[in-house]
């Protein structure tokens, strides 16, 4: 399925091709504060509809992930980094209006201890 997503103001917009049934709820210092529910997909399945210059990026801890957010509205729609099988994207499914959040299986991840 192809989902359209964006930040709140629309400065960052994208499409992602994925079957989203399970998401990760991480308790690391970043995810806990932002409240994201993350679905991981190969990076080539996420296509930006807006210029990459619209992305602001934050890296912390091991600096392995690029946490992208909108400098205008502050919403963080996705991040990206290197996964076991190549480049991956961590999509904040709360930024995908057509995803039924109540139907998702939520996996708790203890990112606080990494």
96 in a domain, yes or no? Answer: yes
Give the integer Cα–Cα distance in Å for 1 and 111. 28
24 in a domain, yes or no? Answer: yes
27 in a domain, yes or no? Answer: yes
Give the integer Cα–Cα distance in Å for 23 and 39. 5
Instruction: Give the other-Cβ count within 10 Å of 107's Cβ.
Output: 12
What's the total number of domains in the chain?
1
Q: Which residues pair with 42 in a beta bridge?
A: 88
Torsional class of 35: left (φ above 0), alpha (ψ -120 to 50), beta (otherwise): left
- CATH classification at residue 43: 2.170.150.70
39 in a domain, yes or no? Answer: yes
Give the integer Cα–Cα distance in Å for 92 and 4. 12
Residue 11 or residue 30, greater confidence: 11
114 in a domain, yes or no? Answer: no
Range of the domain at 94: 2-107
What is the per-residue pLDDT across 35-83, written as a single tens digit (0 to 9) for each? Answer: 999 999 999 999 999 999 999 999 887 777 899 999 999 999 999 999 8
């Amino acid at each position: 399925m192809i989902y359209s997503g964006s930040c709140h103001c629309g400065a960052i917009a994208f499409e992602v091709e994925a079957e989203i049934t399970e998401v990760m709820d991480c308790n690391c210092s970043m995810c806990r504060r932002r409240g994201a529910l993350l679905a991981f997909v190969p990076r080539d399945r996420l296509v930006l509809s807006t210029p990459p210059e619209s992305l602001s990026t934050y890296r912390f801890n091991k600096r392995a992930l690029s946490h992208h957010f909108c400098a205008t509205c502050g919403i963080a729609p996705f991040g990206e980094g290197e996964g076991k099988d190549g480049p991956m994207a961590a999509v904040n499914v709360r930024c995908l209006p057509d995803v039924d959040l109540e139907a998702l299986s939520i996996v708790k991840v203890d990112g606080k201890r990494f």
